[in-house]
Amino acid sequence: SFLPDYISGDFDSIQPEVKEYYKVKGCELIETMDQELTDFTKCLQILQKKIEKKGLQIDMIVTLGGLGGRFDQTMASVETLFHATNITPFPVIVIQECSLIYLLQPGKHKLHVDTGLEGAWCGLIPIGNSCESVTTTGLKWNLTNQVLKFGTLVSTSNTYDNSGIVTIETDKPLLWTMAIK
Amino acid sequence: MERAFTPLDCLLPAGNLKFCLLILNQPFNKGHFHCLWSKAALRACADGGANRLYHITEGSQESFLPDYISGDFDSIQPEVKEYYKVKGCELIETMDQELTDFTKCLQILQKKIEKKGLQGKHKLHVDTGLEGAWCGLIPIGNSCESVTTTGLKWNLTNQVLKFGTLVSTSNTYDNSGIVTIETDKPLLWTMAIKR
């Protein structure tokens, strides 16, 4: 009852019996050559092609997993989010256990944080590049034209005011992260 | 985090610390000078400091050429300036501002350190037996223009590391037990620990 539309990758991790099972059940197996791109990135590229081909109307892409265990693989997930802007026009989020990450492109963003599933903490992480000017509303510790930069200021252990809305304006890519209850 | 170093290591012939030398326009000790000059990775003069260098190395100035001389050049003697110019030293004129020649020389030095990749040569011993399989180099807060490694399965040579371009993850080791990394900007090393 839970058959994926496709499984992609270089297939060095999928267990043989698992691969066989889904193959027999008719799931599409797409082998992508081992390159410098991660399985996540390649999967995203294939997904975008399928979205276009099928003419799907969607609002976002949700990624399950990618934030746990190995630090280098968490960083690889962030790297994929950077590449995602060139792969798909849809927002891509990554969630695992109690964390969500989402890469904000330069500009103004409005996040509704009133689903009831929001945990207490949130943060703004200038991963990959510093941001010269970040302005927020809706956080307990808001920023006004603030520099965010590793070695200067990184917004972690932040939280919300009671408005249910967070706005963020940034001049460079900035990683939003939040708790999931 | 505590960062330990030995301030006078630079005056020890057998000292280990890597440093750059800035010469200012004041008298200095000849003995100190020779030890510092011989070990410095980069040598610079702030304006009239070039006069001091020129005179203290009298008779063998061409063996003591600075990498650059910076300043508003209101103190450097014309013949000294001409000498170093003919010898191919870089002369960087900085406009007269509120900053002193020393400050401006330091600013230029920092740019050159970054450009030459003098900032970071690292040697990691990874032969404790506790190393897990994976490792990575993450340009977490800033991009790195030039990273060079040895000892990894996928080494880098003057490579740009930058989110959106290339991040080294799921790397691993060759069998040498040593990883060297040279980077021009801060770079995060991450590695697996065996359980």
Instruction: Please indicate whether, in this complex, the C-beta atoms of A129 and B167 are within 8 angstroms of each other.
Output: no
SS3 state of residue B56: helix
Q: Indicate the DSSP class of residue B163.
A: T
Instruction: Please indicate whether, in this complex, the C-beta atoms of B163 and A79 are within 8 angstroms of each other.
Output: yes
> Is the model more confident about B61 or about A36?
B61
- Report the pLDDT value the prediction gives residue B2, as an integer from 0 to 100: 47
SS3 state of residue B89: coil
**A134, A154, B54, B167 from A131: Cα distances, Å:** 7, 10, 45, 19
Q: Predicted confidence band at B118 (pLDDT cuts at 50, 70, 90)?
A: low
Chain A contact for B171 (CB, 8 A cutoff): yes
Mean per-residue pLDDT for B138-161?
A: 95
Chain B contact for A12 (CB, 8 A cutoff): no
Lowest-pLDDT choice from A47-61, A134-148, B4-18, B156-170: B4-18
Give pLDDT tens digits for A130-156.
999 999 999 999 999 999 999 899 999
Mean per-residue pLDDT for B36-51?
A: 94
SS3 state of residue B22: strand
From B69's Cα to the closest Cα of chain A, the distance in A is 31
Tell me the angle at which helices B49-56 and B78-86 cross, rounded to the nearest 10 degrees.
Answer: 70
Mean per-residue pLDDT for B82-102?
A: 88
Instruction: Please indicate whether, in this complex, the C-beta atoms of A75 and B140 are within 8 angstroms of each other.
Output: yes
Q: Which of B134, B136, B163 is closest, CB to CB, to A127? A: B163
The pairing of strands A6-9 and A28-31 is: parallel
Instruction: Please indicate whether, in this complex, the C-beta atoms of B140 and A149 are within 8 angstroms of each other.
Output: no
Do B70 and B105 meet the contact criterion of CB atoms below 8 Å apart? yes
Mean per-residue pLDDT for A79-85?
A: 96
- Report the pLDDT value the prediction gives residue B3, as an integer from 0 to 100: 53
Mean per-residue pLDDT for A76-84?
A: 96
- Report the pLDDT value the prediction gives residue B161, as an integer from 0 to 100: 97
> Is the model more confident about A96 or about B127?
A96
Q: Say what percent of chain A tops pLDDT 70.
A: 99
- Report the pLDDT value the prediction gives residue B4, as an integer from 0 to 100: 58
> Is the model more confident about B149 or about B125?
B149
Stretch 129-148 of chain B: residues touching chain A, C-beta under 8 Å: 134-136, 138-143
From A4's Cα to the closest Cα of chain B, the distance in A is 26
Residue B145 carries which side chain, given as an amino acid letter? E
Mean per-residue pLDDT for A102-108?
A: 97
Q: Which of A73, A82, A149 is closest, CB to CB, to B163? A: A82
Q: Which of B141, B164, B186 is closest, CB to CB, to A83? A: B164
- Report the pLDDT value the prediction gives residue B1, as an integer from 0 to 100: 39
Chain A contact for B173 (CB, 8 A cutoff): no
> Is the model more confident about B123 or about A30?
A30
Best-predicted range by mean pLDDT (B1-10, B49-58, B107-116): B49-58
pTM score, whole prediction: 0.70
* Per-chain mean pLDDT for chain B: 89
From B144's Cα to the closest Cα of chain A, the distance in A is 10
From A15's Cα to the closest Cα of chain B, the distance in A is 19
Gap between the Cα atoms of B101 and A140, Å rounded: 45
Instruction: Please indicate whether, in this complex, the C-beta atoms of A128 and B136 are within 8 angstroms of each other.
Output: no
Mean per-residue pLDDT for A117-142?
A: 96
> Which residues in A lie closer than 8 A to residue B136 (C-beta atoms)?
71-72, 75
- Report the pLDDT value the prediction gives residue B117, as an integer from 0 to 100: 60
From B54's Cα to the closest Cα of chain A, the distance in A is 40
- Report the pLDDT value the prediction gives residue B29, as an integer from 0 to 100: 86
Residues 6+ apart with CB under 8 A from B146: B117, B158, B159, B160, B182, B183, B184
**Beta pairing partners, A137:** A167
Q: Which of B142, B170, B192 is closest, CB to CB, to A129? A: B142
Mean per-residue pLDDT for B124-137?
A: 90
Chain B contact for A127 (CB, 8 A cutoff): yes
- Report the pLDDT value the prediction gives residue A154, as an integer from 0 to 100: 95
Instruction: Please indicate whether, in this complex, the C-beta atoms of A82 and B134 are within 8 angstroms of each other.
Output: no
- Report the pLDDT value the prediction gives residue A68, as an integer from 0 to 100: 85
> Which residues in B lie closer than 8 A to residue A83 (C-beta atoms)?
164
